[in-house]
Amino acid sequence: MKNKWLFVGFVVVVVVVLDQLTKWWIRDTVPLHESFTVVPEFFDITHVRNPGGAFNFLARSNESLRLPFFFVMTGVAIAALIYFLRELGERQTLLTFAIAGVLGGALGNLIDRVFLGEVVDFLDVYWGAYHWPAFNVADSFISVGVVVLLLHSLFGGDPAEEKAAQPTR
């Protein structure tokens, strides 16, 4: 990767734009609390709002506590992600992509909190009576990025990265 920061900026912008465009489309076309089926008995598009965090964390708390908490925590998370990005080598493309995806997701949800006071969610996955909490594009990038980081922490480096780091003979 020639320019890590250009790559990070590209990923962040793509994630934020995809996230905000899909949320705009949901707000514009699907009434709040309405849904339509995409894959019967598995996946619906359902327009809901989440004033809390992941899994409705703090959703019922007072807005004067909740919003500053999420703004501060998002700021801390963004600072930590930028620190981790600075520590990554130019060849750590998978980890760079994962962290940039998490950063883009955090910014996408922060935009909702700033302008709406809550996050627009709409991806509704379920199996029978078991429902996963509704989520959005930003949440998807955050989740995938965190899984990649956890797997990397548990099982070591990216094979492509290790191959690229080996001296040529």
Q: How confident is the model at residue 153 (pLDDT cuts 50, 70, 90)?
A: confident
Q: In the predicted model, what is the mean pLDDT of residues 83-91?
A: 88
**Looking at the predicted structure, is the pLDDT value of residue 169 above 60?**
no
Instruction: Report the distance separating Cα 150 and Cα 118, nearest Å.
Output: 28
Catalytic residue flag (residue 121): yes
Amino acid making up residue 126: Y
Residue 130 lies in a domain: yes
SS3 130: strand
Q: Which of the residues 19, 44, 139, 158 is marked catalytic?
A: 139
For the whole model, what pTM was predicted?
A: 0.81
Per residue in 24-58, pLDDT (tens digit) is: 999 999 999 999 999 999 999 999 998 765 555 55
The total of other beta-carbon atoms located within 10 Å of residue 138's CB is 29
**Would 70 be classed as within a structural domain?**
no
Q: Which domain holds residue 141?
A: 4-39+51-58+75-154
- pLDDT bin (cut points 50, 70, 90) of residue 100 is very high
For residue 107, pLDDT beyond 90 = yes
Residue 167 reports pLDDT greater than 50: no
Catalytic annotation, pick one of 19, 121, 124, 158: 121
In a domain, 25, yes or no: yes
Is 28 one of the catalytic residues?
A: no
Number of domains in the chain: 1
Cα-based angle 27, 62, 47 (whole degrees, multiple of 5): 20
State residue 56's pLDDT score: 55
- Orientation of helix 4-29 relative to helix 137-155, angle to 10°: 140
User: pLDDT at position 90, please?
Assistant: 83
Whether the pLDDT of residue 91 is over 80: the answer is yes
**What pLDDT is stored for residue 87 in this prediction?**
87
Which residues make beta-bridge pairs with 131?
Answer: 126
Residue 104, both tokens? 């883009």
